[in-house]
Structure 1
């Protein structure tokens, strides 16, 4: 949205200061302006003459557009009681939501929160301004969600090694799929990949066929007498050890949820 005002004064400087005042700016603030009309003195101090006129046009920054859109959506959702706290840094802005009704903003497994962040980012970056990363969070929900996904990925990775079977997860956005991949790829003996298209795209976790000892039915089935060793943290084979040096698949990019949203 553009903010346009026209300042009027006996001199060009007074007209400029009048326009700044209308915008709530200080007289010392630097702004771009257009001189519409120069001041003209009256002839003989009695006839003619005209005041100076200056126009200032200010467009909303990506952060301002994002915040305005976010508040409008919350109002439409009848969640005007939800408070919005903004935290800005270079190339990024985070909106933290709080209040009694914030649970409605999160939605099932964070789907509503993700959608709200996605749309807010679209609005913020729908211009010629430099791209900014937009995050919409509530408390430390996203941090908790990330830890939950990391734990899930590790658990299913060890399960895949033990049973020799693959497991398909529910559909997730690219950012959450990357968290799962990162967790799984750090466990020797397990791999993960994505299947499906669009909203149905999901992660599959299974045993790594390149690792010796991984076979259908579990990697301990070849023990004498067919006995199977109990599965716990004290008897995991070396093939199931955690390896922090394995490189994870990168589905989410470096720009957070959904990756960069181009214009």
Structure 2
């Protein structure tokens, strides 16, 4: 049961009844007042307070279920580990553990993983009343390994750009990966970075200055 209509002598009493029937907490309860209580006169014309109540959706649970079912439909045997990044349940990380077939979940240049991340975030944030939740989907800690590789690449390309004194273009990357390159070289003297191209062709150029 996720929806109920209950009455009480007061709105507060009706809310308490809804909490008991739905077996939830006040933080998870959402309700609308159908009718205010009315005392009447000498017992005539009185009416109780009535509310319609339901349990607020749990965006993290829905995101987890979606990701789990999607991975299953892909035919990849895996276990999903949830890590709450902050105590307010507004940022969560799902790491998909599948040592034998992690490559299928990651895809070329991480494109499959980015698609899973995008879709899971859509599911997590489809209910406005639940508030915004930031979800990061990873597979076998790929993102951290990729970040380290990109940082190393950034430094190598920076040295090359300074050595040949010509702009060096990198392969197209997602916005997240471009940000890593920009951030890595921001404090490196003698080089500058900028993005070029549109859509899937957008990439970073590193040049000496």
Sort the TM-score into its range (normalised by shorter chain). Answer: 0.7 to 0.9
Larger radius of gyration: 1
Indicate if the aligned counterparts of 1:83 and 1:98 stay in contact, CA closer than 8 A: yes
Indicate if the aligned counterparts of 1:15 and 1:54 stay in contact, CA closer than 8 A: no
Partner deviation per Cα, 1:219-247 (whole Å, 9 max, x = no partner): xxxxxxxxxxxxxxxxxxxxxxxxxxxxx
Structure 1 CA distance for aligned equivalents of residues 21 and 69 of structure 2: 28
Q: 2:62 maps to which residue?
A: 65
Indicate if the aligned counterparts of 2:95 and 2:141 stay in contact, CA closer than 8 A: no
Structure 1 CA distance for aligned equivalents of residues 19 and 178 of structure 2: 53
- Structure with greater strand share of residues: 2
Structure 2 CA distance for aligned equivalents of residues 147 and 115 of structure 1: 21
User: Shift of residue 33 of structure 1?
Assistant: 6.0
Stretches of structure 1 lacking an aligned partner (at least 5 in a row): 37-52, 209-263
User: Shift of residue 207 of structure 1?
Assistant: 1.2
User: Shift of residue 142 of structure 1?
Assistant: 0.9
Indicate if the aligned counterparts of 1:33 and 1:55 stay in contact, CA closer than 8 A: yes
Q: 2:95 maps to which residue?
A: 96
Structure 2 CA distance for aligned equivalents of residues 146 and 125 of structure 1: 26
Structure 1 CA distance for aligned equivalents of residues 4 and 186 of structure 2: 57
User: Shift of residue 202 of structure 1?
Assistant: 0.4
Q: 1:151 maps to which residue?
A: 152
User: Shift of residue 6 of structure 1?
Assistant: 7.4
User: Shift of residue 105 of structure 1?
Assistant: 0.7
Query: TM (normalized to structure 1)?
Result: 0.60
Distance 1:97 1:160, change over 3 A: same
Distance 1:76 1:4, change over 3 A: farther
Task: Report SS of the residue matched to 1:60.
Answer: coil
Structure 2 CA distance for aligned equivalents of residues 147 and 4 of structure 1: 48
Indicate if the aligned counterparts of 2:102 and 2:140 stay in contact, CA closer than 8 A: no
Q: 2:22 maps to which residue?
A: 20
Q: What pairs with 1:124-139 in structure 2 (closer than 5 Å)? A: 124-128=124-128, 129-139=130-140
User: Shift of residue 201 of structure 1?
Assistant: 0.5
Q: 2:81 maps to which residue?
A: 85
Structure 1 CA distance for aligned equivalents of residues 5 and 21 of structure 2: 6
- Structure with greater helix share of residues: 2
Distance 1:34 1:159, change over 3 A: closer
Partner deviation per Cα, 1:182-235 (whole Å, 9 max, x = no partner): 222322111111100111110011111xxxxxxxxxxxxxxxxxxxxxxxxxxx
Structure 2 CA distance for aligned equivalents of residues 35 and 185 of structure 1: 55
Distance 1:118 1:33, change over 3 A: closer
Q: CA RMSD in A?
A: 3.1
Partner deviation per Cα, 1:153-203 (whole Å, 9 max, x = no partner): 111001110111221111111111011112223221111111001111100
Indicate if the aligned counterparts of 1:92 and 1:134 stay in contact, CA closer than 8 A: yes
Query: TM (normalized to structure 2)?
Result: 0.74
Work out whether 1:112 is the aligned partner of 2:108.
no
